Amino acid sequence: MLELTIFGILAMFMLGGSLVMISSRQTVFSAFGFLVTMIALAGLFAMLDSQFLAIAQILVSVGAVVILSMLTILTLNANEKALPSERYKFQWILFTSLLVTPFSLLLYKVLSEASQHFSKMQIINSKAIGSALFSEWVLPFEILSILLLTAMVGAIVIAREKIFPNNTKDIS
């Protein structure tokens, strides 16, 4: 009964955070909604006895993606009048929800039957995942981090040019 209550609370936080993320016009509030959703997802991973995924979710999604997104959002300083008008936002959300529902039911059916096959698989612990990540996958991991850093710096440069258009210094 306690597990069901905790699951319900985490599911409500996930749905609430997702709704705030989608419906908020302020980018900072959307980022906070994403933060709440990712923390609740980490809680669900912990409930499934997958501590590695819970820790990875907190470190990667919450610790890196959300914080860097918040930094970028606060650096860009996007104000409400610079945002595009979204007249049919909720109609599009409803339409895509109705469009995705059959695929979600199909995915649920496939995954519920696939659990029998997964129970026969070998269990991999976090030590094996960590050694594989830091031995075989170091280069792709670092390339991805450099790519994300370059995108963040590019976004900041583009935003600064829009905020300060005549701030070009002549170096001669």
The predicted-structure confidence for 59-108, as pLDDT tens digits, reads as follows: 888 888 777 777 777 777 666 666 667 788 788 888 888 888 888 888 78
Residues 101 and 128 in one domain: no
Residues 128 and 113 in one domain: no
The verdict on residue 67 lying in a domain is: yes
Residues 6 and 71 in one domain: yes
Residues 60 and 131 in one domain: no
Residues 101 and 59 in one domain: no
The verdict on residue 39 lying in a domain is: yes
What's the burial of 26, exposed, middle or buried (CB within 10 Å: 0-12/13-18/19+)?
A: middle
Structural domain boundaries, residue 116? 89-120
The verdict on residue 38 lying in a domain is: yes
Q: Which residue stretches of the chain are H helix? A: 2-23, 27-47, 51-56, 67-76, 89-118, 126-133, 138-163
Residue 133 has pLDDT above 80, yes or no: no
Our count of domains for the chain comes to 3
Residues 61 and 101 in one domain: no
The verdict on residue 126 lying in a domain is: yes
Residues 7 and 54 in one domain: yes
The verdict on residue 84 lying in a domain is: no
Mean pLDDT of all residues in 164-170: 60
131 pLDDT tier (thresholds 50, 70, 90): confident
Residues 139 and 71 in one domain: no
Mean pLDDT of all residues in 145-155: 87
What pLDDT is attached to residue 39? 92
Neighbours of 45 (CB within 10 A): 18
Mean pLDDT of all residues in 109-129: 71
Highest mean pLDDT among 3-7, 27-31, 140-144: 3-7
pTM: 0.54
169 pLDDT tier (thresholds 50, 70, 90): low
The verdict on residue 73 lying in a domain is: yes
